[in-house]
Structure 1
Amino acid sequence: MKRKYIIYLALSVSFILSISFSFYYYTQALKYGQQIDGGKDNQSAIPAYHFALIGEEMDHDYWRLVGEGGKDTEEKYDVFVEYTGPRRSNPEEQLELLDIAIKSKVDGIIVQALNDNFLPMINKAVNEGIPVITIDTDAPDSRRSTYIGTDNYEAGRLAGKTLVEDTNGEATVGIVTGSFDNAHHQLRVQGFREMVKQEEGIKIVAIEESNITRVTAEEKTHQMLKEFPEIDALYGTSALDGVGMAQAMESLHLKNDEMYLIAFDILPENVELMEQGIIDVLIEQKPYEMGYHSIELMLDLMKDKPVKDTYYTDVNVVRVQDLIKKRDGL
């Protein structure tokens, strides 16, 4: 008797589940049909252009601003901007996303070209009729149409000039760079070296690579400061290098007035460290403007309008007093 009851119960449950699933798929089918019908009546709602914007790292405030700039153009122009990128910095994954964009036959591609491996893929896109704009990091030897972003060599020179002025030409410097391989970090180091080498009182005694992570930046800075205790100035070429360097200083109980620290980007953590007197200077880039204007340039290409070879966005030196003035609306 008990066995019959269990069988009856199981059959009842199966029947109820089958009815439920049937109802669910029926309602989904209705919705899908309505979407198709609606699409037929609203062809004008489909954007005229589909652009792919491929950044370095989705999980990073700097690239979020680039993405926001690109996506915000959808409110003004008849475009769909597909913003994508690796969660963490990964050139190989970026190349895969670039390949997918080409195979998807998007109307245009905006991509950061981190190294020489991007050149053949950019050329492939252009050969297949898809214009390419490089952003943040250029590939001038490729067939890209134009570049928009920071002049990274000049940004490095600006950082070097600022350090020279602030230290009166007397400093022992340690450098933490985001990547030895990435072109824009190489240029920021080259420009910095070019500027400070003119000063006999400034010596660069160490340079380490952070792999664009705050943890590695802290580890490498800690190691650097233990090996070269005479270092009294630090230069970081990526936004996260500044945070990592500051954490290393804290772990070694170094006081703010014992170390001059210059880094990149006006991001919340860097601003907080500057307000605490830990970071002395930030080199400000314009990531939102890069993203927004890259789409406008791509639209010019769609309309066969001429574009320049490069479009450099502004770079500024920011100190704590500048933050205060901005906050107070002065």
Structure 2
Amino acid sequence: MNYLLKLFYLIGFLLFFATFSFAIYFAEKMNDFRVSAAKEKVPSYKYHFVLVPEEVDNNYWRLIEKGARDAANQFGIELEYVGPKQGNIDEHLKTLEMAAAAKVDGIISQGLTEKQFTPLINKLVKNGTPIITIDTDAENSNRNSYVGTNNYYAGFIAGQALLKDTSGIVNVAIITGSFHSINQKMRVNGFKAAVKGEERVRIIAIEESKISQIRAAEKTYQILEKYPQVNAIFGTSALDGIGIANSVTLLNRVEGMYIIGFDTLDETLAAMKKGIIDATVTQEPYEMGHRSVELMIKIIEGKKVPTTNYTNTAVIHKEDITADMKEDTVK
């Protein structure tokens, strides 16, 4: 009996020892796994930025993204590109809030005119998230810096080009991407300022395309039917210019019509080569994206940066088109 009892205790001890040893071994392995997993989660990037566009699938914004991503790769930055599929203020603001809540190191966002935008930007900056506005400014906010076109100047040089390229009485129609977008408003205001005081130039009508080529064509058609005396049209966004050209061609009004567009889409350049569009305003979306990342790094590292950073803008004509000129905007 004593032998059986001793054997029972021995077996129990061995089972306990084996179980205990396995538990220790398993715990060590789990710890090794956790350490390994933790190491894998250690960021390999220097900073984490978020770029919030007006519309994620807009080709113009894709070029801004490309510039930003190239700079991010160059300087070891993690860059996220997130935002509304189509312009939507609520979704845009929500994206900004989520980015700040995720403790990103910096946010690059299109500036918005809606009254909700400035208070949110001010709040995020106050709470320690640097903000750079890009393409469209929000100069009344506490954003750290702006990178993009001087949109008033862009409209102004378009007006100057019209004055230089035309003679006699000019009755102008303007097709603008949006009545509410600040960059579109500034382009219109700049154009008006350039032609103000010129008695031979009269602005007959201003219509909104809502950044739609089809709507731009429709509005152009309606204007030319209602105001046949119109002999010049300015489109303040790239799709406007193409829509204008389509309707002018359809109505057989190319001869005697002066058209100045915006940006250098392939379709715009093709229409310029055919003599349908006379001139277009160029801007630099790739440079905007690249420079915004560079500036954000400086802001985070405590270096002083200009509060306004304008990229180059110019007016080109048919003779300025080069063989290697490619589509560079769609806004």
> Which TM-score applies when normalising by structure 1?
0.84
Q: Are 2:156 and 2:187, in contact at CA under 8 Å, matched by a contact in 1? A: yes
Q: Determine the C-alpha separation between the residues in 2 that align with 1:93 and 1:166.
A: 43
Q: Which amino acid aligns with 2:291?
A: H
Change (3 A) 1:165 1:304: same
Larger relative contact order, structure 1 or 2 (CA cutoff 8 Å, min sep 6): 2
The runs of at least 4 aligned residues of structure 1 exceeding 3 Å deviation read 35-45, 324-327
Q: Determine the C-alpha separation between the residues in 2 that align with 1:214 and 1:76.
A: 36
What is aligned with 1:183? 182
What is aligned with 2:242? 243
More off after superposition, 80-89 vs 153-162 = 80-89
Note the C-alpha offset of 1:85. Answer: 2.7
What is aligned with 1:233? 232
Note the C-alpha offset of 1:92. Answer: 3.1
Secondary structure at the aligned position of 1:311 is classed as strand
Q: Determine the C-alpha separation between the residues in 2 that align with 1:324 and 1:99.
A: 43
Change (3 A) 1:37 1:217: farther
Q: Which amino acid aligns with 2:192?
A: R
Q: Determine the C-alpha separation between the residues in 2 that align with 1:88 and 1:252.
A: 31
Q: Are 1:164 and 1:170, in contact at CA under 8 Å, matched by a contact in 2? A: no
Structural RMSD (CA): 2.0
What is aligned with 1:92? 90
Q: Are 2:72 and 2:293, in contact at CA under 8 Å, matched by a contact in 1? A: no
Q: Are 1:71 and 1:83, in contact at CA under 8 Å, matched by a contact in 2? A: no
Q: Determine the C-alpha separation between the residues in 2 that align with 1:247 and 1:112.
A: 30
Change (3 A) 1:116 1:88: closer
What is aligned with 1:13? none
Structure with the greater alpha carbon radius of gyration: 2
Q: Determine the C-alpha separation between the residues in 2 that align with 1:139 and 1:36.
A: 45
What is aligned with 2:25? none
Q: Determine the C-alpha separation between the residues in 2 that align with 1:38 and 1:218.
A: 60
What is aligned with 2:152? 153
Q: Which amino acid aligns with 1:283?
A: V
Change (3 A) 1:197 1:151: same
Change (3 A) 1:268 1:297: same
Q: Are 1:113 and 1:139, in contact at CA under 8 Å, matched by a contact in 2? A: yes
Q: Determine the C-alpha separation between the residues in 2 that align with 1:45 and 1:93.
A: 28
Secondary structure at the aligned position of 1:69 is classed as helix
Per-residue CA deviation, residues 111-153 of structure 1 (Å, 9 max, x unaligned), is 1112133111111211221010111111111010111101111
Note the C-alpha offset of 1:324. Answer: 3.6
Per-residue CA deviation, residues 236-276 of structure 1 (Å, 9 max, x unaligned), is 1111111111122133232x223111011112221222222
Q: Are 1:284 and 1:316, in contact at CA under 8 Å, matched by a contact in 2? A: yes
Q: Which amino acid aligns with 1:67?
A: E
What number of residue pairs does the alignment pair up? Answer: 293
Q: Which amino acid aligns with 1:141?
A: N
Q: Determine the C-alpha separation between the residues in 2 that align with 1:215 and 1:88.
A: 17
Note the C-alpha offset of 1:169. Answer: 5.7
What is aligned with 2:124? 125
Q: Determine the C-alpha separation between the residues in 1 that align with 2:268 and 2:36.
A: 48
Q: Determine the C-alpha separation between the residues in 2 that align with 1:38 and 1:264.
A: 53
The gaps in structure 2 that reach 5 residues or longer are: 1-32, 326-331
What aligned pairs does 1:102-121 form with structure 2 within 5 A after superposition? Answer: 102-117=100-115, 118-121=117-120
Per-residue CA deviation, residues 78-107 of structure 1 (Å, 9 max, x unaligned), is 201111232223333222222221222211
Pairing partner for 1:53 from 51, 54, 72: 51
Change (3 A) 1:45 1:227: same
Q: Determine the C-alpha separation between the residues in 2 that align with 1:285 and 1:199.
A: 27
